Amino acid sequence: MSFRSGVATFAGKSSYWFLHTFLHGGSSLPGKITLKLDPNILRTLGAKYDVIVITGTNGKTLTTALTVSVLHEKYPAILTNPTGSNMEQGIVTTFLNAKNPKTGRPLAVLEVDEANVIKVTQYIEPKAFVFTNIFRDQMDRYGEIYTTYQKILDGVALVPNATIIANGDSPIFHSKELPNPIQYYGFDNEPDGDFKARPNTDGVLCPNCEHILHYHSLTYSNQGKYFCPNCGFSRPELTYRLTKLGEQTPTSSKFEIDGHPFKIQVGGTYNIYNALAAYAVGRFMGVDPEQISDAFNANQQVFGRQEVIDVDGKRVTIILVKNPVGLDQVLHMIGTDTHPFSLVGLLNANYADGIDTSWIWDGDFEQLTNRDIPAVITGGERYKDITFRLKVAGIPDDKHIVEPDLEKVVDRIKEVPTERVYVLATYTAMLQLRKILATKGYIKEGLGV
């Protein structure tokens, strides 16, 4: 460590101690201070670690958490960054907070924002990357899917020897020739048919000849066993295959990967992709399938995004929604519930939510109408938008309660005719609701994600 790095590290660590001790905070400021003093600090801090970078639109947080628990089966020392700290400053802070490893070479499993991959690879050569998926996100901030992928590749270009472990079902990850070693994971559990993606799906053009892609099988959005009927471009050979899909409920999924049975305590096909990614990293790093299964079984707290809250006898599940593909998957997951349930939709449009609410129209709320939901509540700062969205989706007025005020939404929830209640909320709406629930004593203060 150079003198400059030493001073910078000390300054960052002290500021973390100060913030953590006196202000109960400190997720990115220490990194900011350290970076000011030594812009190249990541080279020094990261040199001791084998680093795995996890990036993509959806599933970064859960894939990171699952990967950490899988790797813990074999590796005792693993550093990881808390959710929300996936940009340069947060990553520097993560390294600053780490205790000095006593023996051996520790691992760092880092969730990294797509545009910040290059900020990491300028200084650190990762052992592996994981690419989860690239979907239409809040485009007022991030741009189109091809731009987002290019940002990731700009970072990858600096480290041509790092292995890429990518979602093979996503055509964009097969669209560019790369010098890196690549392994793919994907779903291989259906006999071949011939399908097209739903009309309102992103990224369905063949990257090779620009015709519309077809699919032998589709999971959701533009993911599946794709092929181009015009030029023969097709899904690459998979290294890790989901070979069987078993029972799915809102709180559990059973499946087999490479013939090995697994169960995770969380619903949603998207979470099976996350588990598949964690499995792929585990196998790449030499963890046995049995150990991976143990890790999946042992780790229930990583699924915090779907915590169930008891509100005077109602089983309330709050789920964060932030983009159309994620929303569709959540709606599909809720639809696997065999019990009757009520639905709450809370929409805000602050910076953290995405300031453009158009995306709710890309979500397929229409799939709910065959469920005969006895009560639907819409609220939040942009309640008018979400109210009209659900009206158009076919929710009848006599079952639809419009309540902008989140405090009153909690009261209305107590009155719905079902025990189960699913609350779909954007980021700041979720924070506001949790604060109210904490004030009323239904949950402890804190984010819980």
Partner 1 sequence: MTYELNVAHLYGDLMNTYGDVGNILALNYYAKQMDVHLNVNVVSLEEDFKAADYDLAFFGGGQDFEQTIVSQDIQTKKAELTKFIESDGPLLAICGGFQLLGHYYIGADGEKLPGIGALDHYTLAQDHNRFIGNIVIKNQETGETYHGFENHQGRTFLGDGERPLGNVVSGKGNNGEDGTEGAIYKNVYCSYFHGPILTRNGDIAKHLLVAALQRKYPDADFSQQKALPIPATF
Q: Which residues bind partner 1 (CB under 8 A)?
A: 136, 139-140, 144-146, 196-197, 199-202, 204-205, 210-212, 324, 355-362, 384-385, 387-389, 391-393
Q: What are phi and psi of 306, to 5 degrees?
A: -120, 35
Based on CB atoms, which residue is closest to partner 1, 153 or 393? 393
Question: Which residues are CB-neighbours of 99 under 8 A, at least 6 positions away?
Answer: none
The vertex-184 CA angle with 144 and 449, nearest 5°, equals: 65
Cα 263 to chain centroid, rounded:
19
Based on CB atoms, which residue is closest to partner 1, 165 or 349? 349
Minimum separation from the CB atom of position 203 to partner 1 (A): 9
**Is the Cβ–Cβ distance between 44 and 101 less than 8 Å?**
no
Give the pair of three-digit tokens for residue 241: 């295959």
Minimum separation from the CB atom of position 180 to partner 1 (A): 23
Q: Which among 140, 288, 356, 411 is annotated as catalytic?
A: 356
Question: Which residues are CB-neighbours of 282 under 8 A, at least 6 positions away?
Answer: 67, 70, 71, 73, 291, 292, 295
Minimum separation from the CB atom of position 396 to partner 1 (A): 13
Based on CB atoms, which residue is closest to partner 1, 145 or 218? 145
Minimum separation from the CB atom of position 200 to partner 1 (A): 4
CA dihedral 142, 143, 146, 151 (to 10 degrees): -40
Of 218, 120, 100, give the one whose Cα is nearest residue 170: 218
Q: What are phi and psi of 59, to 5 degrees?
A: 85, 5
Based on CB atoms, which residue is closest to partner 1, 177 or 397? 397
Minimum separation from the CB atom of position 9 to partner 1 (A): 36
Return the biggest CA–CA distance within the chain: 70
Minimum separation from the CB atom of position 219 to partner 1 (A): 18
d(CA 95, CA 108): 9
Minimum separation from the CB atom of position 368 to partner 1 (A): 14
d(CA 350, CA 219): 31
Neighbour tally for 177: CB within 10 Å = 5
Question: 343: burial class by Cβ within 10 Å (0-12, 13-18, 19+)?
Answer: buried
**Is the Cβ–Cβ distance between 129 and 148 less than 8 Å?**
no
| Beta strand 376-379 pairing with 107-111 | unpaired
Based on CB atoms, which residue is closest to partner 1, 196 or 414? 196
* 356 is a catalytic site residue: yes
Based on CB atoms, which residue is closest to partner 1, 31 or 380? 380
Give the pair of three-digit tokens for residue 133: 């998926």
Give the pair of three-digit tokens for residue 271: 């979470």
Based on CB atoms, which residue is closest to partner 1, 146 or 442? 146
The residues annotated as belonging to the active site are 356
